[in-house]
Structure 1
Amino acid sequence: MTTQANANNNEKAKGLGKFLRGVRSELKKVNWPNRAEIKNHTGVVIIATLMAVVLLWILDSVFGFGLNLLI
């Protein structure tokens, strides 16, 4: 039973090593953004988030006002 467990552990270790080599290989293919692109995309995300917050706040206020009129 011990030799089977050792063989199983060796197979798992080999599989893990193969997986990590594959991950490293794929990460080398990634086109990473430069600093200017990151700043630009971050700005776009912040502005879009703020616009969504303002829109939801306006809709909440309008529906809240309408609900208060009904009650």
Structure 2
Amino acid sequence: MAEEVKVSKVEKTKGKFVRYVKDVRNELKRVIWPTKSQLINNTITVLVMCIIVGILIWLLDLGFGALYNLIY
């Protein structure tokens, strides 16, 4: 009979971690990173939308506050 090789739990965990890191590196190699102009354009778009939504929420809060003051 062949001897069974017992692998400790620590070695199994270490092997899984190493495989995970290799998989992450391979996955990052496949990512299509944006160009500088795309990055700037997307950043500006996000900032403008955040400002618009912030103003909208502020106006709604102002309106509901005025409505609350009229009722109570």
In the superposition, the TM-score normalised over structure 2's length comes to 0.82
Equivalence for 1:43 = 44
Q: Residue 65 of structure 1: SS of its match in structure 2?
A: helix
Specify every segment of 5 or more residues in structure 2 that has no aligned partner in the other structure, as ranges. 1-5
Alignment: residue pair count: 67
2:45 paired with 1:30: no
Question: Which one has the bigger helix percentage?
Answer: 1
Q: After TM superposition, give the deviation of residue 68 of structure 1 in Å.
A: 0.7
**Among the aligned pairs, what percent are the same residue?**
28
The answer for unaligned runs of 5 or more in structure 1 is none
1:20-57 C-alpha deviation (Å, 9 max, x unpaired):
11111111111111111111111001000000011111
Runs of 4+ in 1 over 4 A off after TM superposition: none
CA distance in 2, matches of 1:11, 1:68: 65
Measure how far apart 1:7 and its partner are: 2.2
Other-structure match for 1:18: 19
What is the root-mean-square deviation in Å for CA atoms of aligned residues? 1.5
